[in-house]
Structure formats: C-alpha cells, structure tokens
Amino acid sequence: MRSGAPAQQSGPEEVACAIELDGARRVYELPDLGHLLALHDVHLSVAPGQFVSIIGPSGCGKSTLLRLVAGLEAPDGGVISLGGRTPTQAAEAKLLGFVPQVPALLPWLSVLRNVTLPTRLNRRAARRGADRAETEELLRKAGLGDVMHQLPSQLSGGMRQRTAIVRALALRPEVLLLDEPFSALDEFTREALQELLLDLWGELEATVLFVTHSISEAVRLSDKVVVMAPKPGRIVEVVDIDLPRPRTQELLTSAEFHAYELKVRDLLRGAFEHGREPA
C-alpha cells in the first residue's frame, strides 16, 4: 500500500505480479509477401507493483508490446511471463486490466453498468473484482459520482476516459496496461487523470505498463521509462527514475526532474533519427 489509503480486500493471491519479456519477437506478414519486424529481441523486467512507461516514435512497437503482454497476440519468438503465467493464462484468470487509447464504452449502458459489465459477464472477474459498493466508491473517487447513471454520450471526453480507467481498475487487476490513455485530452484534464491514476495505483498495487508520447508524463509517473526505437522495434534503454513520491509541484519543476526529461529526450532524439534512416 503506497498511499496510506485503506486497501481493498486482498489475499496473498492478489499481490501484483512481475512482468518478464525474454527475447520477445513479433513479425507481421505484409500483403506484398514481405514482413515487418515489429519487435526484435525485447528483454524487459518489471518488478511487482512498479509503474513503467513506454515511449518511442510512432511505429516502434509500443502497442504491439502491450498487446503481447495482454495476450491479445502471441509472440513469434521469446517468452513472456506474468508472475509465472503466460499472458493467455493471466488474461483467463482475469488478472489483467486494459485501458485503450479510445475508451470503448457501450453507448446504451450507463457509466455504472459499463464499469460493472466485466464482473457481470464473467464469474472469475466477479470473484476478483470490486463489488457494487466498491465500484461506486471508485467512481466517486474518479469524480464520476454524479454521472454514474448517465450514458457515455452525455459525458465529456475526459469523463469517458475516466470511466474506462475505473472499468479496468474495478477488476482489481494485478497488471494494468494503458495504451496512450490521455493522448486526446487537454493539459489540465490530463494532469487530473494522472493524479487519479497514481492514487488508484497506490491503493491497488498493480504492476503498470503505460504507453505515452509525452516525456514529462513518463518521467512524472514512472519508476522506469522504457525508450524504444523503430526498424526494427526494440528497446534502446531503460531509464530508472529515482525520484521520491509523491512527485510534488516543487519536484516537477526541479533541476533533478528536468535532468531526467533531458535524458529521455536525448534518447528519443536518437530513436527518431534512426527511424528516418532507410530500413
């Protein structure tokens, strides 16, 4: 428990799990009979409960990496382990929460019913996940208490994205995967949702993989920032962010914070320049 807030009930089996990628590889067959090496020899160790961001130029394989960890696609080589389980086993055990870039909410269901849908549809999810009262509490924490009976079409973009985050968190996942969840939001909404995510992460103790294009967001949120490059998609460096939490406004404007931003920026510049070279 990081935040000091009361923990939701958790047994020993609900402790967050580590994520290990050992030589992961993904090749896409292309219509012209060629192929594209979307991920090449990816090694990554994420400790239980860590918050890790993934950053890199468009097309470097960030979403592919997330899909492999989520068990939505299988690697063409290497091994991926989530606390000793394969991604498919972890997904079947309902240990994973996934927040996509665009919140996929069912337009005919209220906010509350969208959030409770996974636990209503699946017995395993129901056993692990938050009950109705806990879900309503999560919605209130996310600032959605007053709109939980409204339809998604009545909400702002930021509210819809909060709903998608609460839906993933209501499963009490051991591993939370987020694919650029705040990219379409204005700066202030983005900051508010970063705070919310950190608060809820603090309570749930999930292991987080977070894809972003924002250097400051990555440094602000993370224990580690994974910098990727394209052609082929690969990890160029993992930067440990050795800053205390909570990361106050004072810290966010400090020279130390800025030094991490510059370091990630330099690595990214190299990755972009590489991406511009002919493959």
Ligand X SMILES: Nc1ncnc2c1ncn2[C@@H]1O[C@H](COP(=O)(O)OP(=O)(O)OP(=O)(O)O)[C@@H](O)[C@H]1O
Q: Rule CB under 6 A: which residues touch ligand X?
A: 28, 36, 38, 56, 58-64, 233
d(CA 174, CA 90): 9
Residue 174 CB, shortest distance to ligand X, in Å, is 23
Apex CA 117: angle with CA 114 and CA 120, to 5°? 150
118, containing H or E segment: helix 111-121
CB of 56 to ligand X, least distance (A): 6
Q: Are strands 35-46 and 19-29 parallel, antiparallel or unpaired?
A: antiparallel
Tokens of 81: 């382990």
Q: Which is nearer to ligand X, 41 or 137 (CB)?
A: 41
By beta-carbon proximity to ligand X, the closer residue of 39 and 111 is: 39
- Pairing mode, strands 77-82 and 51-55: unpaired
What is the rounded CA–CA span in Å between residue 112 and residue 90? 25
CB of 149 to ligand X, least distance (A): 34
How is 225-257 classified by DSSP, letter by letter? Answer: EEEEETTTTEEEEEEE----SS--HHHHTSHHH
Q: Which is nearer to ligand X, 170 or 226 (CB)?
A: 226
Q: Are 20 and 221 in contact (CB under 8 A)?
A: no
- Compare residues 62 and 162 and give the one whose CB is closer to ligand X: 62
Nearer to ligand X, 62 or 190 (CB): 62
Of 129 and 233, nearer to ligand X (C-beta) is: 233
State the nearest-atom distance from the C-beta of 37 to ligand X, in Å: 9
Give me the least distance between CB of 15 and ligand X, in Å please: 29
Each as own residue / partner, the long-range contacts of residues 133-140 (CB below 8 Å, 24 or more positions apart, any chain) are 134/8, 134/170, 135/166, 135/170, 136/112, 138/166, 138/169, 138/170, 138/200, 139/111, 139/112, 139/115, 139/166
CB of 159 to ligand X, least distance (A): 24
